[in-house]
Amino acid sequence: MDAFELSNTAVALLNRQGDVYEMNPAAQALLHGDVRICGRKIVSFDPAASSALGRAISQVMWRPTGAATAPPVALPRIGRSPLLAYPARLSAVAANALADCQAIVIFVDPEERHNAPEALLQSGFALTQTEAKLASRLATGASLDDVSDELMISKQTGRTHLKRIFAKMGIGRQSELVALLSVMARYGSR
């Protein structure tokens, strides 16, 4: 929780029932109005989005072993871009079935995100210019297909670049990329 707070990344900790039992201040600032906590659950004014998030949380929590992440769930907001929720179970958390925290949800507000500096990605992780652009855009919540279209590369080439990004950065999931680049964007914009 401290690492997320230092990077001002919104995160909620979930217990084994999928209930929110702790949030950092960044999450508390985001979760009101159209997306909020109701009965210890993360809900949207859109019941379909709330159900989709509930299913995604269940999927990551009940995978048999290790870390697990789900694709982002878009939580609509009236007159604004949807809030993106990335459910995840970290391997260190998953190792202890009795721990209070069984999963986390990382929240990304596309309206508040800053791209991680591409030059920093290139020098710090030896990413190519295209890989740095792809990583930076994905961290803002854009989909791989949309970013591939923006960069005028095929979707398969985008997937290949993403695999290389993961290998060079030592990560394995898009939610880890979002968390890492959110830290870099915060410090790179100062």
34-63 pLDDT per residue, tens: 999 999 999 999 999 999 999 999 988 877
Residue 180 lies in a domain: yes
| Mean pLDDT confidence for 7-29 | 88
Count how many domains the chain has: 2
Q: What is the pLDDT of residue 61?
A: 82
Average pLDDT score over the chain: 83
Do residues 13 and 99 share a domain?
yes
Residue 22 lies in a domain: yes
Do residues 97 and 23 share a domain?
yes
Q: Pinpoint the alpha helices (H) of the chain.
A: 2-6, 25-30, 47-61, 91-94, 118-125, 129-138, 144-150, 155-169, 174-188
Q: In the beta sheet, which residues pair with residue 173?
A: none
Closest CA to 37 of 46, 27, 25: 27
CA distance 22 to 29: 13
Do residues 127 and 183 share a domain?
yes
Q: What is the pLDDT of residue 115?
A: 59
Residue 182 lies in a domain: yes
Do residues 14 and 33 share a domain?
yes
Q: Domain containing 175: what range?
A: 118-188
Do residues 18 and 95 share a domain?
yes
> Does pLDDT of 19 surpass 50?
yes
Read off the pLDDT band of 93 (50, 70, 90). low
Residue 113 lies in a domain: no
pLDDT digits (tens, 9 = 90+) for 95-108: 566 667 788 898 98
Do residues 10 and 100 share a domain?
yes
Instruction: Give the residue from 67, 83, 108 where a domain finishes.
Output: 108
> Does pLDDT of 90 surpass 80?
no
0.75 exceeded by the pTM? no
Domain containing 38 — which CATH number? Answer: 3.30.450
Do residues 41 and 131 share a domain?
no
Residue 179 lies in a domain: yes
Do 139 and 113 contact (CB within 8 A), yes or no?
A: yes
Domain containing 182 — which CATH number? Answer: 1.10.10.10
CA distance 131 to 160: 10
Do residues 92 and 178 share a domain?
no
Do residues 37 and 16 share a domain?
yes
Q: Any idea what DSSP says for residue 36?
A: E
Do residues 54 and 145 share a domain?
no
CA distance 123 to 148: 22
Instruction: Give the residue from 78, 108, 138 where a domain finishes.
Output: 108
Do residues 34 and 99 share a domain?
yes
Do residues 62 and 14 share a domain?
yes
CA distance 26 to 2: 12
Tally of residues, the chain: 190
Q: What is the pLDDT of residue 171?
A: 82
Q: What is the pLDDT of residue 180?
A: 75
Instruction: Give the residue from 89, 108, 127 where a domain finishes.
Output: 108
* pLDDT higher at 117 or 50: 50
Q: What is the pLDDT of residue 6?
A: 63
CA distance 131 to 126: 9
| Mean pLDDT confidence for 157-186 | 81
Strands 41-44 and 73-77: unpaired
Read off the pLDDT band of 141 (50, 70, 90). confident
What residue type is assigned to position 128 of the chain? T
DSSP-based helix, strand, coil % in the chain, nearest 5: 45, 20, 35
